[in-house]
Structure 1
Amino acid sequence: MKEGWEVKKLPQISENLDSRRIPITQNKRSKGKFPYYGASGIVDYVSEYLFDEDLLLISEDGANLLARTYPIAFSVTGKIWVNNHAHVLKFSNIYT
């Protein structure tokens, strides 16, 4: 760890938005232009969105957690829909 860095718990630096996730079964999705995210990234495109901000999505479950074929965490920006297979975190400060 770099000198001067502080150790903090995730709830101290982020807001968990999991309560806003809504899964939509494939046969009930209306096709559109907004990415529909699951545990491994974009799984479809839908006509509406739930979020319009900078977020970090973290895989909640699925085979990818073991296989690691795709990243298990990814940042997203803009209008998106997230199902219940990815945790949704919002950070007040973004460090690069």
Structure 2
Amino acid sequence: SREAKLRNTQYWNALYELMSPLENLDKDVLGNVSISCSKGKKDLPANKRISGNIPYQGANGIVDYIDSYTHEGEYLLIARIGAPSLSPYSIRKYAGRFWATSNVHILKVKETYNLQFLFHYLRSLDFTPYINNPNSRTCLNEGSLLSIPVPKISLEEQKRIAHILDTILELKETVEQEVELRRKQFEYYKYWLLNPEGKLETMP
């Protein structure tokens, strides 16, 4: 919808506006402000998975739901291969239990940094310099990922920036949910108008 697109544009404009002043600050590296938790990652063939409610996390999102997990906690999940875009790159946050495939990097953020801030900051970057073959987007190896510069700012400032961006994202997601709800309502009423004697269970 028009409003959803407006909220999305608002988020990206705010993101770049808030991150731009940080370019000239002293830098640390991602490997010093987070811990790689890639140990335990494992690919599980479809015929070996048992259905459940635990996300089976691939490079760019949830691939399946299974009954066991490799990790538990709050993490940043970053695509190792196959990201659809290098700017913004495929980055998401997740809290809880999940099974991690070999195609995703897993970072636990240290107490000196705010996970929400790092999530937004990394989304503002162009990952082209860190990919071993940008033309095919083949691989972001762990060494390159952990070498990414991160601005040195106070935890309070990180939280302030994250709060602003989180608020805009929440508004965007609320609008998207409302649009989807209206779409489903429209489909429901259209179905009953065209099929006045139909049954609910026969709806496509």
Normalising by structure 1, we get a TM-score of 0.84
Q: CA deviation at 1:8?
A: 0.8
Equivalences for residues 30-41 of structure 1 within 5 A? 30-41=50-61
2:79 is equivalent to residue 79 of structure 1: no
The residue type equivalent to 2:93 in the other structure is S
Residue pair 2:54, 2:66 contacting (<8 A) in 1 also: yes
Separation in structure 2 between the aligned mates of residue 22 and residue 56 of structure 1, nearest angstrom? 17
Q: CA deviation at 1:64?
A: 2.3
Q: CA deviation at 1:22?
A: 1.1
The residue type equivalent to 2:105 in the other structure is H
Q: Structure 1 or 2: larger helix share?
A: 2
The two structures, once aligned, show a CA RMSD in angstroms of 2.3
Residue pair 2:60, 2:83 contacting (<8 A) in 1 also: no
Runs of at least 5 residues in structure 2 that lack an aligned partner in the other structure: 1-20, 118-161, 163-204
The residue type equivalent to 1:12 in the other structure is N
Normalising by structure 2, we get a TM-score of 0.41
- Which residue, 44, 53, 72 being the options, matches 1:52? 72
Q: CA deviation at 1:34?
A: 0.3
The residue type equivalent to 2:110 in the other structure is S
Which secondary structure state, in structure 1, belongs to the residue aligned with residue 22 of structure 2?
coil
Separation in structure 1 between the aligned mates of residue 84 and residue 22 of structure 2, nearest angstrom? 30
